[in-house]
Amino acid sequence: MKINIQNLHIGSIISKDVYSKTAKPIIYRDTVVTEEVINLLNVFLIENVYINQKIMKDEEETEYQSANFSNNSIEVKFKEVANEYRRLFKSWQSGSYIDIASVRNVILPLIEIALKEQEKVFNLYKVIPKNEYLYYHSSYVAVVSAILANNMKYSLGDINQLSLASFLIDSGMSKIDEAILIKEGPLTNEEMKELRQHPLYSYQLVKDIPSLKEETVLAVMQHHERMDGSGYPLMIKKESIRSYSRIISVVDSFCSAISVRPYRRCLNPFTVMKKMLSEKVGKYDLTVIDSLKAFFINSILGTRVKLSNGQVGEIVFIDDKNLTKPIVKVNDEVVNLLEGDNQSIEIVDICR
């Protein structure tokens, strides 16, 4: 059904791709209408769109409201899970075995929320404290991995197993000298060698847990392996790297790079994404990289960013072939960073 955007309701479903003066759609079919979508339509002066008329208004509102429990619900839960991870990690340092029932009760409720509030997951990296990276990182990897797997059509059972693997990838850090874990400066060669043993230590902690699939256990050990054999600890190549492992290795690399660490600031997500795309042929599974790219684009639309010319703008469109050069709305002006003098402008940071 064709409808003027003045009559467009939040929660409606776009039924046809929406084009402007772009080679690709600015909005794809089956997109759920949000405030950001309506703003984008206004920016591109789109007057009419097609929506799915089979979706009734009360169903639309229910779907939209269920995906937006509150502005901070996932952030609050994320912090709660990090606190629980800290407690579990301390117990592992003391020699306790991994209680997988407790682990499930900690991480899977967060995964359930994340799958319903996908648009809020990316920004969770901004709430990670510099000196508590270890306690937050595995949870962040778990929620992003779950979203990628969900978008790659994995079953809920597989998503849960993948999430458990993600949550436990750094459990072996509990067997590393704590002085290495909290060190703020660069690690020595010997310290780095010891740190790179943590996947094997993690594997030892999880290998005898009967409720974990073989794929899950191997993912814990393989999350730092790379398709070209340049990873660690076993330096295996793509034919030996399992599907869960391929997802976690991509997500772990991305989440680690954009998160603040004791010894450095968080890196610009646009720069990190560009680097990973340039390395994808050798190091990473291409299907997983494509899923991460789609997640990144969906997460970043509508985000306010700082530009290298000192201005602040809102991202209104991203071409998936030019992630670092989106179309940005600055005040009332639409600025295409791919055109003319604008090509020299870079995105230097994402606003909180």
Average pLDDT of the residues in 294-314: 93
C-alpha–C-alpha distance, residues 268 and 283, integer Å: 21
Of 10, 39, 65, which residue constitutes the final position of a domain? Answer: 65
Per-residue pLDDT tens digits for 85-125:
999 999 999 999 999 999 999 999 999 999 999 999 999 99
**Domain identity same for 307 and 294:** no
- What are residue 315's phi and psi, to 5 degrees? -75, 125
Say whether pLDDT at 32 is over 50. yes
Instruction: Please indicate, yes or no, whether residues 28 and 117 belong to a single structural domain of this protein.
Output: no
Rounded to whole angstroms, how far apart are CA atoms 81 and 118?
17
For residue 1, name the pLDDT band (cuts at 50, 70, 90).
confident
Is 281 a residue whose pLDDT tops 80?
no
Of 13, 34, 65, the domain-final residue: 65
Q: Rounded distance, CA 349 to CA 346, Å?
A: 9
Confidence of residue 22 (pLDDT cuts 50, 70, 90): low
Residues 255 and 230 in one domain: yes
Q: How confident is the model over 230-238, as a mean pLDDT? A: 95
Please determine, for residue 148, whether its predicted confidence score (pLDDT) is greater than 90.
yes
Does residue 209 share a domain with residue 130? yes
Overall number of domains in the chain: 3
- DSSP H helices in the chain: 35-43, 57-66, 73-93, 100-116, 118-121, 133-151, 156-168, 178-181, 189-195, 198-206, 214-222, 243-258, 269-283, 286-300
* pLDDT for the residue numbered 61: 34
Structural domain harbouring 343: 302-350
Residues 115 and 255 in one domain: yes
Q: How confident is the model at residue 31 (pLDDT cuts 50, 70, 90)?
A: confident
Cβ atoms of 81 and 106 within 8 Å: the answer is yes
For the stretch 151-210, pLDDT in tens is 999 999 999 999 999 999 999 999 999 999 988 888 899 999 999 999 999 999 999 999
The strand pair at 347-350 and 333-336 is best described as: unpaired
Give yes or no: residues 142 and 166 share one domain.
yes
Residues 83, 181: one domain? yes
Q: What's the pLDDT at 53?
A: 64
Same domain for 100 and 32: no
pLDDT band at 35; cut points 50, 70, 90: confident
163 and 130 within one domain = yes
- 144: domain CATH number? 1.10.3210.10
**150-164, 168-182, 220-234, 320-334: range with lowest mean pLDDT:** 320-334
User: Is 229 in the same domain as 200?
Assistant: yes
